[in-house]
Structure 1
Amino acid sequence: MAQNYQTFLKEVLIDENTLQARIVELGKQISADYADCDDLLLLCILKGGVMFLCDLARHIEVPHAMDFMAASSYGIGARATTGSVRIDMDITVPVKDRHVLIVEDIIDSGYTLSFVMDTLKVRNPASLKLCTLLNKASRREVDIMVDYVGFEIENKFVFGYGLDLDEKYRNLPFIGVVDEDALKNDA
């Protein structure tokens, strides 16, 4: 029998209204910062960043294009990383001389985004900035400059609003904290 997300929900960390209000603010800030830009590229890191990208793009008032990249960081378990990163799907448009804004769901260790940014820098964009919905600075192992942050969060295992729990529950309109005891009992 399929389980409801509530089985694994310890608490709602960021509710839908708070999420959407902050995304509107980020859209306004990005619009102001890129007001004179006519070649902005929003580069979404898949899969988790899609919901955030869609809502954020609606609030960015400057013309922009979108593209996608998928990157994987490998480790043991869903919360571990070795620092080994690979590009699973590359972007389809050239970034040379374009203003690129990477849109990500969450940054914790920094390995994946550091690798993605280094990969893009050698392609000579006019500028390269990073926007993340969630920032887990306490888990950072690689120094990375984040230009736009939706929310700073503690080191909690979260899901919803694009973030998955075993590839499920990305569709939730809020960010929830995983009840890790319930998750272990389900295994």
Structure 2
Amino acid sequence: MAQTHMDVSVFQKSKKGNYYCGDSYYYKETDQGFICALADGLGSGEYAKESSQLVMDIIESNADASIEQIVKMCNGKLIGKRGVVLGILKIDFKDKEYTFSSIGNIGIMTISNKSEKKRNIPNAGYLAGFPRPLKVLRDNLLDEMVFVMFSDGVDSIDLSSNYFLGKDVSKITELFEYYLSDAMDDDTTLLVMKYKV
């Protein structure tokens, strides 16, 4: 199904010297809503990728579940594996609201059509099979709202750049890559999503 309400653009780069990027992401739009998730396996390389991809596979199979249910399922499957940090965004088109939660250093920033930026403070820690406290942010969905989700390869200084205020998601990721990707020394994923009516 074609994206009708969400424009999405992604930048991803593995840590220098690594074939595998330890970050994995998934997104899907339906008639009812949209889900996007980003996981960063602890460390880097193949085992980090294995854990982050396992979490994405679970989310893909359970995209209709609540964020709380998804996190619980993912946590249960990570026993004995490399842990992950995880961010999940869900948008409800009918109720015009979004929910987001993040464990560890997956961040999200929202930008309103008036160029007002808001950063979410993630829950500390990571998922590795033991229970985690979880807070879920719930807020109103505004027309032309831009969501920026990112792993820890994206520095908070980068996020202050004015090109995040643009409305073309592809242009935002292109400018990010052009200006900043050479300076990064970690697995890096940047997902830029714009809601349109």
Larger radius of gyration: 1
TM over 0.5: no
* TM-score normalised by the chain length of structure 2: 0.28
